[in-house]
Chains A and B, each alone.
Chain A
């Protein structure tokens, strides 16, 4: 399938924005209105649960240089009710940040305080204070039954139960904090924002301010990292309100401290997993109950934690439960999926422990129990589009030298005295499928080159570059002849969808494939007149149109497009549904299927038992993304995932004081991100597994989320080194020493 691709997967193709990035010319939100804009600071609630009785801003407004102040009374995004410490109470726009900060300190607020709860266990306990973000009760349950799990356990030889968690609460740490510049011209609002969904930003602002969408002109070009934190944009409305009140452009940029206190966080999870096995290690039953801490968000469901266990392994009889709770902490949002990375940490540690229970090597246990490519999804009964889990495991095992390096627990000491260990994990999830139908525009210039545009932002590297590949391949053009036109601009682009769910290459890519086909039909129609043949007798390649019967008889795109006095515009939207390209297990081509994000990871660590420091010596990651449309971008995603797995496993954690609800480590240093001295990337490797069962355009699937779900391989390697499991990430030196009885 899809052989002889001319553009797609070519390792030489560069990101279309790489030159503008290395020259510093890609514009991000704050780069607009330089020298003309005001700067903001916000007053954050110091209380986790309260109601604002009164706000006095007169002293703040009197500070020279202060131009506007907004509160919940005039900012429709904000509320009089406080659900977490760090919630925005008032915003000040002034000539510079220092002036705004001075003014913020002069705002006086009278609060009525209420009881609150910060810890998820406490929030789920009977009689806990109501968090307030969800009506009547803090918790919400979810259940999925598969077969008869009780009968399954009755049939098991080994019945194993483990409880793992809580996983840590942490902040996305987007290197460009959440921010926007807003400016009004008459009753038209101009917005430059960081975003993962520009059109959602436009509609939310228009709706909150009660103005038509055609008066909101929103542009999101550069976006300094997203990870899910910029899917919704609560910073836009206060920015627009302050700009209107001040009558001047305003930059509303969260400070790093505000970012930790007001923006999205990872969803902490805890689970009790019971597994039933035969003596030979065959999994026969599971009873898995995940608890989740949604913090102060309006949804408190905990459903995604179970996914890895559900989708990865062949467990015929199972019960999957989820109980989510709200707590009075800064809200959670998707972190490269809402719950898969911590959910997989838990389930993959449980799988390792189950393997040990039946005396099996963790890799062999996985080989025995993972679903194979031709097996159907056990819940929906539908076949899966490219499930390369076995191949991913094989690749990471080879990269890490599994057969040579795996040893009994604690059996190997390095020459420098540190303990050596290796670990492995796998992960299959529901990401990378089609999302809602979106649009795309392909514009052929009269000199025979091409510009593409869609309304997506550039939250991760390379998505719009991947779209250039799809368009070039479909049109039969050279890669260098297709370029990104505008993107993330709601005035000129078609709605491109949210950059979430690992869906943009596949979903917006599908729209681009259709748009390119539309443009191609017009090119052939024009060329048919020039060749004097029917369009069906023509084909394209290498930016030329030629006769199928005589490929040497050709005309360049320049000649064909130049014949018209207009630009050829291709328009596309769809597909929206996922169809098989290959017949599997009796399901014909074109029938529906489940799309799965598939990955595996392996780690080699050295553990210093004197200091507790864990060093990752090697980290290998493999990912089945169907087909790497943009090869360099795909490899960067997987290698980037290696680094993020380590950040999650060893460093990141936000600590909220249970007595006050206040964050105590709201900085990049204490809520640590690893740097180039914390691990050496020389030992990292990435491998692509290209499935033969393509489902998206040219056989692609999404890949953004699965590749950060392999952090449990580090926990597994630490166990292999020192013989103790650290169940609660991050694996800090203190936790290692405590586990070793040294602290």
Chain B
């Protein structure tokens, strides 16, 4: 499969996968870098990836659309319809009818439709490759991803959450930090597929945008911004810190923010802001 071979040569995957495999976390990544980078750019990492990335993207050729009987939203797969119904509606209402998109037969439940599909249209219920579920800022999101897409890319471009910024796209600057299952992570270094099932928090979820949350308010009170591009990453790192350590010492704050670069020189004000929440 030529495409598979090409994928295995992709440098950006190997770097991300490499960093992920090394267990690098936010905080302290600015140290001991030369070993990491030389390994990432060298042949060794390429070999690593040829073993770790094994899946390729299948293009769905079917034009069948599964329609939600409650709100008429269309889905490309039964799995997506099922996930939508289970999360958005009270399943089992006897009035609704599920329609098989292949032969227009009606069924009174998802289970019946599924049984029919398994019997008659097996390809329709095969697992959809790349379909992941993320709980982003409290909302469940189903999104089909390619194996090489980073979580940052998917959150921004596929889920439309631009507050998350990308500074280096290679695990060096902390700008793209989000909170995943309570932990601050570099979203450029996590493959979206690896985030399947995770609870993700971004700056959009910190407040409704009108009433600020105390952390945001503290950034305002301390004038802890300059150009503003790194601010979302700092906010999310601070959010993760304060969730587990509401009264951090100055050193603990410095440590929690140490995976972040601020090129304008606003680290001092940011530390002050986190300390005075």
Stretch at the interface among B74-82, B92-100, B120-128, B145-153: B145-153
Judging by beta carbons under 8 Å apart, are A24 and B232 in contact? yes
Across the interface, name the chain B residue whose C-beta is closest to A176.
B229
List of B residues within 8 angstroms of A257 by Cβ: 170
- A12-28 contacts to B, CB under 8 A, are 14-15, 17-19, 21-28
Which one of A18, A63, A225 lies within 8 Å of B263 (CB-CB)? A225
If A17-B228, A640-B265 touch, whether A24 touches B11 (CB-CB below 8 Å) is no
List of B residues within 8 angstroms of A23 by Cβ: 163, 203-204, 206-207, 209, 212, 216
Mask, A1-37, CB within 8 Å of B = 1, is 0000000000000110111011111111011001101
B230 at the A interface (CB under 8 A)? yes
B255 at the A interface (CB under 8 A)? yes
Across the interface, name the chain B residue whose C-beta is closest to A105.
B9
Bound CA span A641–B268, Å: 11
Instruction: State the Cβ distance, B176 to closest chain A Cβ, in Å.
Output: 11
Instruction: State the Cβ distance, B71 to closest chain A Cβ, in Å.
Output: 22
List of B residues within 8 angstroms of A458 by Cβ: 227
If A23-B212, A640-B226 touch, whether A175 touches B261 (CB-CB below 8 Å) is yes
If A636-B266, A681-B271 touch, whether A176 touches B158 (CB-CB below 8 Å) is no
Which one of A34, A96, A460, A668 lies within 8 Å of B168 (CB-CB)? A668
Which one of B30, B168, B231, B266 lies within 8 Å of A22 (CB-CB)? B231
Bound CA span A168–B175, Å: 26
Judging by beta carbons under 8 Å apart, are A175 and B229 in contact? yes
Judging by beta carbons under 8 Å apart, are A461 and B157 in contact? no
B225 at the A interface (CB under 8 A)? yes
Instruction: State the Cβ distance, B222 to closest chain A Cβ, in Å.
Output: 9
Mask, A248-284, CB within 8 Å of B = 1, is 0000000111000000000000000000000000000
B103 at the A interface (CB under 8 A)? no
Stretch at the interface among B33-41, B62-70, B108-116, B179-187: B33-41
Across the interface, name the chain A residue whose C-beta is closest to B202.
A24
A501 at the B interface (CB under 8 A)? no
If A225-B264, A458-B227 touch, whether A676 touches B254 (CB-CB below 8 Å) is yes
- B150-208 contacts to A, CB under 8 A, are 153, 156-158, 160, 162-170, 172-173, 175, 202-204, 206-207
If A35-B158, A175-B261, A669-B36 touch, whether A636 touches B170 (CB-CB below 8 Å) is no
List of B residues within 8 angstroms of A176 by Cβ: 165, 167, 227, 229
B12 at the A interface (CB under 8 A)? yes
B13 at the A interface (CB under 8 A)? yes
Instruction: State the Cβ distance, A22 to closest chain B Cβ, in Å.
Output: 4
Mask, A668-680, CB within 8 Å of B = 1, is 1110110111101
Across the interface, name the chain A residue whose C-beta is closest to B216.
A22
Instruction: State the Cβ distance, A250 to closest chain B Cβ, in Å.
Output: 13
List of B residues within 8 angstroms of A24 by Cβ: 162-164, 202-204, 232
Number of B residues, CB within 8 Å of A: 74
Bound CA span A681–B203, Å: 25
Mask, A595-616, CB within 8 Å of B = 1, is 0000000000000000000000
Bound CA span A681–B257, Å: 13
Which one of B7, B206, B254, B269 lies within 8 Å of A680 (CB-CB)? B254
Bound CA span A669–B34, Å: 8
Judging by beta carbons under 8 Å apart, are A224 and B268 in contact? no
List of B residues within 8 angstroms of A172 by Cβ: 263
Judging by beta carbons under 8 Å apart, are B265 and A641 in contact? yes
If A18-B225, A34-B162 touch, whether A669 touches B172 (CB-CB below 8 Å) is yes
Bound CA span A256–B269, Å: 26
Instruction: State the Cβ distance, A115 to closest chain B Cβ, in Å.
Output: 27
Judging by beta carbons under 8 Å apart, are B260 and A675 in contact? yes
Across the interface, name the chain B residue whose C-beta is closest to A63.
B6
Mask, B251-277, CB within 8 Å of A = 1, is 001110111111111111111000000
Judging by beta carbons under 8 Å apart, are A223 and B227 in contact? yes
Bound CA span A256–B202, Å: 23
Q: Which of B30, B169, B267 has the most chain A CB within a 10 Å cutoff?
A: B267
Bound CA span A343–B38, Å: 34
A639 at the B interface (CB under 8 A)? yes
If A225-B263, A676-B257, A681-B271 touch, whether A96 touches B227 (CB-CB below 8 Å) is no
Task: List the 7 closest A-B pairs by CB distance, nearest first.
Answer: A24-B163, A640-B265, A224-B229, A681-B268, A669-B33, A643-B265, A21-B228
Query: Which residues in A have some Cβ–Cβ distance to B below 8 Å?
Result: 14-15, 17-19, 21-28, 30-31, 34-35, 37, 63-64, 96-98, 101-102, 105, 172-177, 222-227, 255-257, 458-462, 632-633, 635-636, 639-644, 647, 665, 667-670, 672-673, 675-678, 680-682, 684
Give 7 A-B contacts (CB < 8 Å), ordered by A residue: A24-B203, A173-B263, A224-B167, A227-B263, A256-B167, A633-B223, A676-B270
Known contacts A21-B228, A98-B146, A642-B265; 15 additional CB pairs below 8 A are A23-B206, A23-B207, A35-B158, A174-B263, A175-B165, A223-B227, A225-B229, A256-B167, A256-B169, A459-B227, A461-B228, A642-B268, A669-B34, A677-B28, A680-B250
